[in-house]
Structure 1
């Protein structure tokens, strides 16, 4: 966890990787819960027997499940003092270059790309690269926008 005492301190790091998250293990239970929540019950995600004979040899996480881990990754990576609220403002670009087989451990690396002061806070754009332990290719690369208010 990297702590920043002010938004200005954070904003001075444009172009730098500012933090990395803790590792998160993607379990079959998490995949199944995501399938129930979204209605996406494709066999490649929820049928371990069928998926074992499929292209990845096991079930894989939904791409949107992988993306949905971004907030918990950010929470374990970055802390702001004196910020009363943060909100998700959206995404500019998302790609899933590699699959996430069940049992994978993932973590996110956060690179600050833009920092725009706003009245009472700032809009922050970060390139988030999610890595899978033992894989050369990232599993998700996303440009994430958030707003932080003091």
Structure 2
């Protein structure tokens, strides 16, 4: 399997990433990104070699035709459930990303491919553009500004995809 095919197979299985981060003493921000259609992997290129570790870094361009981003601020209630203070949804199209793939030669002399990062290149800018004309509280502005980092954090909390060759 080539690198582009490996990344494409992973993207077809990717449907949702979620993370939660503390906003203030009373609440947290929930970041939720649903991939409404599979991402498309294109043009994987060599980045660098680390001879001491026997691995290569590759980078692949990714295109997501449609995603939905939901940002929610919630806090605890007296019943240990969560109370939603405010929320905002963004249906987005044509989101660009970059996947970093590590190719390692392990001790049994097999090649291992692993996706180590998925960076959304302009997600915060896309959300800022989508938010124009909407009523934006301080929390919403903060959440939109941090969305790119939240998306990358949410992806890193998932199990990494690997392929042994």
Q: Same fold, TM exceeding 0.5?
A: no
| TM-score, normalization by structure 2 | 0.33
- Which is greater in Rg? 2
Give the structure, 1 or 2, with the largest relative contact order (CA under 8 Å, sep 6 or more).
1
| TM-score, normalization by structure 1 | 0.35
Normalized per residue, the structure richer in strand is 2
